[in-house]
Amino acid sequence: MSEAKSDEALIAYLKQFVTTRRWERIISILEERTRYITVVLEDIYQPHNASAVLRSCEGFGIQDVHVIENRNRFTISSGVALGTSGWLDIHRYREEGAGNTLKAVHELKAKGYRIVATSPHAQDINLEDFDISAGKSAFLFGNELEGVSQEAMALADEFMKIPMRGFVESFNISVSCAIVLHHLSWKLRELDPALWKLNEEEKSQILLTWLRKSVKSADSLEEHFRQQQ
């Protein structure tokens, strides 16, 4: 049996152990998930902010979050995240020494993403003017103190800012991320769904992961299933 067929059979098996309501909820959320937009976090050091960003990503249907750890370890505050990180794919770049920003950007560009630094710049555009239809986008947010690093700025393809109307020059990172994702996830759904929705293979992989998290004693059940094959 091929791996894809095996996964399909395992999904059908594990489906028996969730309620109909739970299954329908999982499927409806999966239909709204996207990898057309992704979020990149560079050297975030406050657990509260890190967790709030993850919660916003999950709430707005973003499946992937890329975490760059050059100097600061990415720590999640469970009281804020409320388990949302378990429904996301978190990709961490945390090798000792420098180079994690470069590695993350190169990997994302290789996957077809344009790197959008969320920082004021001579060539920036306002959030409302960002062209979401121009291609897959990775939005890079810097840390709480220094913002996006100079290295990341040099590697970015585009620059975007949230227009400010008051005396303050910027929002907290978790607030900024929520504003950006709210606007762009709304604009995203004006596009052809085939452009931003997950393909069937991606859906299957994520569905299996979510079922494993939803079913009690999933490891034991899966072992039993594979013994019967």
Give 167-199 pLDDT, tens digit per residue: 887 788 899 999 999 999 999 999 999 999 999
Give the residue extent of every domain in the chain: 33-222
> Amino acid identity, residue 76?
I
Quote the pLDDT of residue 83. Answer: 66
Return the CATH number of 33-222, one of 3.40.1280.10, 3.30.360.10, 3.40.50.620, 3.30.365.10. Answer: 3.40.1280.10
| Tokens standing for residue 106 | 């190169």
Binding site members for S-adenosyl-L-methionine: 118, 162
What is the rounded distance in angstroms from the CA atom of residue 26 to the CA atom of residue 214? Answer: 10
What is the rounded distance in angstroms from the CA atom of residue 152 to the CA atom of residue 117? Answer: 8
pTM, to two decimals:
0.90
Binding site members: 118, 162
Question: Residue 94's pLDDT band (boundaries 50, 70, 90)?
Answer: confident
Query: Is the distance from CB of 179 to CB of 172 less than 8 angstroms?
Result: no
